Amino acid sequence: MEQTKNKQDFASLINSGKPVLVDFYATWCGPCKMMTPVLDELKGKMGDKAYILKIDVDKNPSAAAAFNIRGVPTLLAFKNAKVMWRQSGVVPLQELEKILNGLMT
């Protein structure tokens, strides 16, 4: 999974034209921990066709506030810097794969 160092890196990734899936999570969150192997498997399936980012809401409260994150995990899918999909809670691998594949057209 990708690691962003700052807002410029994040902006660059979501503007890249590739689909970007962002997982807003917290280290203390049980459902967030359940998403980690799902996202790892998704990254293996998608390869370099999409970016998958994890943002710790406790370490990045301004990012969480910017996207109105009220609960974790919350996943957002971006294409050309626009939020194309958003969902809170655990999301199955097949659904995430379908969403990212749909954004590649």
Residues with a known catalytic role? 29, 32
- Tokens 């293996």 correspond to what residue? 44
What letter represents residue 68's amino acid?
A: N
* Sheet strands side by side (includes 74-79): 51-56, 20-25, 74-79, 82-88
Phi/psi-derived region of residue 28, left when phi > 0, alpha when psi is between -120 and 50, beta in every other case:
alpha
